[in-house]
Amino acid sequence: MNEDKEFLGKEPLGRLLLRLALPTVAAQVINMLYNIVDRIYIGHIPEVGEAALTGVGVCMPLIMIVTAFAAFVGYGGAPRASIFMGKGDHKSAEKILGNCFVVQLIISVLLTAALLVWNRDFLMAFGASENTIEYGVSYMNIYAVGTVFVQLTLGMNAFITAQGFARTGMLSVLIGAVANIILDPVFIFGFDMGVEGAALATILSQAMSCVWVLAFLFGKKTHLKIQKANLVLKASIVLPSLALGLSSFVMQASESVISVCFNSSLLRYGGDTAVGAMTILTSVMQFAMLPLQGLGQGAQPIISYNYGAGKVDRVKGAFRLLLKASLCYSTLLWACIMLFPQVFAAMFTSSPDLLDFTKTALRTYMACMLLMGIQMACQMTFTSLGNAKASIMVAVMRKFILLVPLIYIMPQLFPSDKTMAVYMAEPVADFLAVTFTVILFSFQFKKVLSRNPDRMPKGKDQ
């Protein structure tokens, strides 16, 4: 293995995590802007801003599904590629990259067709009302065309970061985000295109990022290159990658299911204002989740590579650093939201009624957000170690077993304010999920590290 690929196993952990995590966190912060800048501009459209924001907010479950499929392939394949690189098996790592590229192309075609044909039906099921549905349909009709760019940018960029090219991965996101921030006001206000302009700005920006990502992975600077010989799908390569990516898929796709549950309950108890507030709450939640994912992605190549190389002490050290950094960030952001909820709410709306309602809802919804640093550090470490079962278990527990039922249970327990009771489901689920995750991790981490990573089957196809 070339010396330039061995820094993951040699460089001091603190310096290495800083080197890799700063660009990945920056990339996720930029990605956060990518995701919320449309909503910031749309929420301030004169006269129709509140209704338009709610309509586009109902699109979020569909957008989450699109990004979840990118994570399904990319966040499953990339850690496995890193593990094989750590074992010195460069050929297997490249085959994983090639197969994942083809899978994402296939998924892109299927998703595009589904979104173009059924987006109105989906949006009505996801909580749109007659007042907001047309805004959602207008946005999704254009966004659907750019699905392939979203898939390839997010999914294939994971393979760039997994090789240790964190800055290149950050630039992938930065290119699109800067373009989106510039194009949004031009199309929304300059050309008076409204929500359609926001969607057009988004897909053009994603197309720019996609060109950058593919140019790198087909180019000379990458360690792992997309090559024609590796584009033939093989079950022994694809299925283990998808199994590992399933937890990331569940974590992100479940956000879609949860959005539907939240929106339908909130529409029933609080009307369009409560649904509009939920759009803002999920946007603010991204201030927590995306940087925490960035920290995990920065640590992933370190943990995966050293696990593959059999360096257990470095794996333990990398996890401890990841846990400390994640917990510090989530606690700091939680404190800011508790102290200044109006600052976060005002980013998305100038409506006095919606602003006043959202301030209270934010404190309720984010009450246990400080604990998410623990949750994300453990879950990302499970994935980095190739422990698909534990990673899936953690994701399913928090979202499906706890949060979805609580959305319907809490209003029955607190009938005096059923709308706020719906928002309370989030912190209650977070507290219970973190407790479960800590207990599971305390057993599984030692068990996985005691297992020889060479037992991972290579097989002739890999």
Helical pair 418-449 and 235-308, crossing angle rounded to 10 deg: 70
Whether the CB-CB separation of 28 and 289 falls below 8 Å is answered with: no
Predicted confidence (pLDDT) per residue in 154-201, tens digit: 899 999 988 888 788 888 888 988 898 899 889 988 888 888 888 899
Amino acid at residue number 163: Q
Whole-Å CA distances, 416 to 96, 172, 350, 411: 54, 48, 28, 8
* Confidence check: pLDDT of 447 > 90: no
Whether the CB-CB separation of 28 and 169 falls below 8 Å is answered with: no
Using CA atoms, how far apart are residues 100 and 157, in angstroms rounded to an integer? 12
* Confidence check: pLDDT of 443 > 70: yes
* Confidence check: pLDDT of 461 > 50: no
Give Cα 201 to chain centroid, integer Å: 20
* Confidence check: pLDDT of 28 > 80: no
* Confidence check: pLDDT of 398 > 90: no
Per-residue b or e along 94-124, where b marks 16 or more CB atoms closer than 10 Å to that residue's CB: bbbbbbbbbbbeebbeebbeebeeebeebbe
Using CA atoms, how far apart are residues 387 and 216, in angstroms rounded to an integer? 29
Tokens of residue 374, six digits: 């623990």
Tokens of residue 235, six digits: 């079950």
Instruction: Please give the mean pLDDT across all residues of the chain.
Output: 86
Whole-Å CA distances, 392 to 96, 153, 296, 380, 397: 21, 24, 16, 11, 8
Q: How confident is the model at residue 119 (pLDDT cuts 50, 70, 90)?
A: confident
Give Cα 117 to chain centroid, integer Å: 25
Whether the CB-CB separation of 188 and 210 falls below 8 Å is answered with: no
Which residue in 228, 119, 220 sits closest to 165, CA to CA?
220
Whether the CB-CB separation of 353 and 328 falls below 8 Å is answered with: no
Using CA atoms, how far apart are residues 215 and 197, in angstroms rounded to an integer? 27
Predicted confidence (pLDDT) per residue in 355-387, tens digit: 899 999 999 999 999 999 999 999 889 888 888
Using CA atoms, how far apart are residues 398 and 401, in angstroms rounded to an integer? 6
Residue-level pLDDT at 418: 95
Which residue in 412, 143, 119, 380 sits closest to 245, CA to CA?
380
Predicted confidence (pLDDT) per residue in 310-322, tens digit: 888 889 999 999 9
Q: How confident is the model at residue 459 (pLDDT cuts 50, 70, 90)?
A: very low
pTM higher than 0.85 for the full model? Answer: no
Which one-letter DSSP state was computed for residue 370?
G
Helix residue ranges, H only, 218-351: 235-308, 312-339, 341-346
